[in-house]
Amino acid sequence: MPRLRVPWAVACFVWACGVGCGDLDPLCPSWGLCRAPLALNASPPWQGCGETWWGAAGLGLWGLSSDSLIDSFPIDPIQENYVRNDVIENILDLHISVQGTSDFLQFVSGGKVIFGSVPLAHRYGGHQFGSWAGQLGDGRAHLIGVYTNRYFCRHGERWELQLKGSGKTPYSRNGDGRAVLRSSVREFLCSEAMHYLGIPTSRAASLVVSDDEVWRDQFYDGNIKKERGAIVLRLAKSWFRIGSLEILAHSGELDLQRRLLDFIIQEHFPLIAVNDSDRYLEFFSTVVSETANLIALWMSVGFAHGVCNTDNFSLLSITIDYGPFGFMDSYDPNFVPNTSDDEGRYKIGNQANVGLFNLNKLLQALKPLLDPRQKQLASQVLEGYGQRYYTRFTELFRAKLGLLGDDENDNYLIAFLLKLMEDRRADFTMTFRELSEITEDQLKELRIPEEFWALQDLGKHKLFSEWVSMYLLRLEHNKGDTDIKRRKRMTAVNPRYVLRNWMAESAVQKANLNDFSEVHLLQQILQHPFRRQEAAEKAGYSLRPPAWAKDLKVSCSS
């Protein structure tokens, strides 16, 4: 196990795809570094955001950097060698044609390491299912460098690139460092789906499939099976999480913790002055506010993360580490997407409370760096988390119902609807979507079209007509509004398509047979979740989930 004093370990790759490191730098046996500069010609210059353009057609003049991390933090001198798209074009500045090149495929599958890249594995700890789990760390993800966008759309944006499933790291413990196809397809699709839903998230650039044997006990029932492996190239502004600070506080490495915090603030919190004596307090206040916002956004689309451990909670309040997540079908506050969560700790209705628990653990990690006054103020900030979450939740659901302004009875109207949905087990996504599409005249007459199946289910509740009367009365208070404006406003915030478990499972099953047609279809559909699409309708993505979907299970195994 690496020594606890350092937050990073340098790691050489042992690739799940079976491809070796390529040309090894002479330092590799001593320091675990792999370097293999690629040689492709660069393309013509940028021609404008949103227009036809020629990004870098190859990787020859394209490079990564790890300098900011390596220069800022100590590296563990381990000697062992451990065994689309918007992202491609608008973040990484590459022409889409690069995807078909051998060098690109070697890069995203781990066959070669880009010039300037120093593969790193991050050390962190975490509270898992409420208990301190000690040191954890990147067990199957390699941070391969930082890319700073050069062009107009995202000029100057800094993105950290990781390969997930790329082999063992110093923190793999007893794991093999690999990822299976089913979990990789789900992460690849969901991270992009969340982005297009407007929810802060990591992104995915590529998915590479392996024929190497990966053995997994999917449901921890002793039934070990061979599965296909895969590697995802994923990006985030930062992969630091609450557990990144927890491990340093638990091991008493306060100087390093202070350096890490100052680095994070300088890189990612530009509104906080790095020389401000209250900078850690302001940092904590920002994280509290943004975490409340993130979880409210999850709830607004019926998303349950599944494993809200502190090591899976980003310090930048973005959605990371997609595992046994799930979008709710029938509305149920007790919806648990993760079969490994026997006690339902991470059920969808408890996510806000778990957020509070995790933020409290963040505060405990920060306390050694705060003076008595700052500790008291930080506690007050944390006490305000519940109100911040409740306010944001109400704002989002008020928008989902097309309500303008603020009415003291809005909270009751929202809660009333959710209770009816819970009683009737009405579909969460399509109930709100169909409320966005039905006319006020149809609601007044309780004349629900046959294709509005979710509202028809809800309409069978004995109190539905009472709720409709309250809703229509509230809509009359929308000053200067029309029914057309209301529906347009609501369809812009209520998706017609989300990545339901059955859709992901269908794509995974086909992918296991080398048929990636549904992965590609979902990738296209989920880029426009608010727009009715003929291909999506034909695939049944807005219909009732098929009967077989009730038996679907997702676990932590990946």
Counting other chains too, the contacts that 473-479 makes at CB distance below 8 Å and 24 or more residues apart are 474/403, 474/407, 474/409, 474/410, 474/413, 475/402, 475/403, 475/440, 477/404, 477/405, 477/407, 478/402, 478/403, 478/404, 478/405, 479/404, 479/405
**CA 542, 506, 556: angle at the middle one, nearest 5?**
110
468-503 burial, b at 16+ Cβ within 10 Å, e below that, comes to beebeebbeebeebeeeebbebbbebbbbbbbbbbb
Q: How many whole angstroms separate alpha carbon 495 and alpha carbon 134?
A: 40
Q: How many whole angstroms separate alpha carbon 483 and alpha carbon 437?
A: 10
Q: How many Cβ atoms sit within 10 Å of the Cβ of residue 86?
A: 15
190-222 burial, b at 16+ Cβ within 10 Å, e below that, comes to bbbbbbbbebbbbbbbbbbbbebebebebeeee
- At residue 87, the 3 state secondary structure works out as helix
Sole residue written with tokens 């937050």: 7
Active site residue 329: no
402-433 burial, b at 16+ Cβ within 10 Å, e below that, comes to bbbeeeeebeebbebbbebbbebebbbbbbbb
* The one catalytic residue among 93, 311, 321, 410: 311
Cβ atoms of 478 and 486 within 8 Å: the answer is: yes
Cβ atoms of 188 and 232 within 8 Å: the answer is: yes
Nearest to 328 by CA among 349, 302, 351: 302
Cβ atoms of 109 and 101 within 8 Å: the answer is: no
Q: How many whole angstroms separate alpha carbon 538 and alpha carbon 535?
A: 5
Return the HEC string of 271-296.
Answer: CCCCCCCCHHHHHHHHHHHHHHHHHH
> What is residue 98's DSSP assignment?
G
Cβ atoms of 23 and 186 within 8 Å: the answer is: no
Nearest to 87 by CA among 108, 68, 110, 113: 108
The alpha carbon of 381 is separated from its chain's Cα centroid by a whole number of angstroms, namely 25
Cβ atoms of 203 and 335 within 8 Å: the answer is: no
Q: How many whole angstroms separate alpha carbon 552 and alpha carbon 193?
A: 20
Q: How many whole angstroms separate alpha carbon 5 and alpha carbon 434?
A: 55
Nearest to 378 by CA among 368, 394, 367, 393: 367
List residues with catalytic annotation.
Answer: 311
